[in-house]
Each structure stands twice: as C-alpha cells, then as structure tokens.
Amino acid sequence: MDDSHRPGEEMIEGPSSPVVRRELFDGTGFEIIKVPYAPEKLVRLGWTFRVEPTAGQFHWGAGSPADGPG
C-alpha cells in the first residue's frame, strides 16, 4: 500500500527496482525487497488478509494463504 510514495534515497537500484533501503531511528540501515500484489490477485490465489488504519496515512495488515497459519 505504501508504494505510492517512495523517496529517491530509498530506491537504491532505481525506481523500478524492488530493493529499498530503510533506516531505523538509531541510524541502522537495512535493505528490503518489496513485491507489491493487487489484493484481488491474492484473493484469487486463496489468501485471506485484513488491513486496518492506524494513524494518519499508515496502515497495519496481516495475511496468509488459506492453508497456512492464520
């Protein structure tokens, strides 16, 4: 859901790359791989999930395949 805004400094391999650099409050940096999926595709693949707003533009979500842990 947060792919609509990714600052240039996060996208270490360019705008189409799934590799993103994130930094913790203490300055520790790490790289993550982001692979966005449309919710409709996940439902078709048998996934169940829920996403709830927390504060401002932030959301919390969890999901799993139908045959996986709930």
Segment 9-58, tens digit of pLDDT: 676 677 777 888 888 889 898 888 877 778 888 889 899 888 888 888 78
Residue range(s) defining the domain that contains residue 46: 37-70
Q: Do both 1 and 30 map to the same domain?
A: yes
Q: Do both 30 and 43 map to the same domain?
A: no
Q: pTM, whole model, 2 decimals?
A: 0.45
Strand partners, 29: 23
Looking at the 3D structure of the chain, how many domains does it have? 2
pLDDT surpassing 50 at residue 1: no
Q: Do both 57 and 31 map to the same domain?
A: no
Query: What tokens were used for 11?
Result: 């996208």
Q: Do both 28 and 43 map to the same domain?
A: no
Confidence of residue 60 (pLDDT cuts 50, 70, 90): confident
Q: Do both 29 and 55 map to the same domain?
A: no
pLDDT value at residue 39: 80
- Identify which has the larger pLDDT, 39 or 3: 39
Q: Do both 31 and 51 map to the same domain?
A: no
Give CA separation, 65 vs 30, 41, 42, 52, 59, in Å: 27, 12, 8, 19, 20
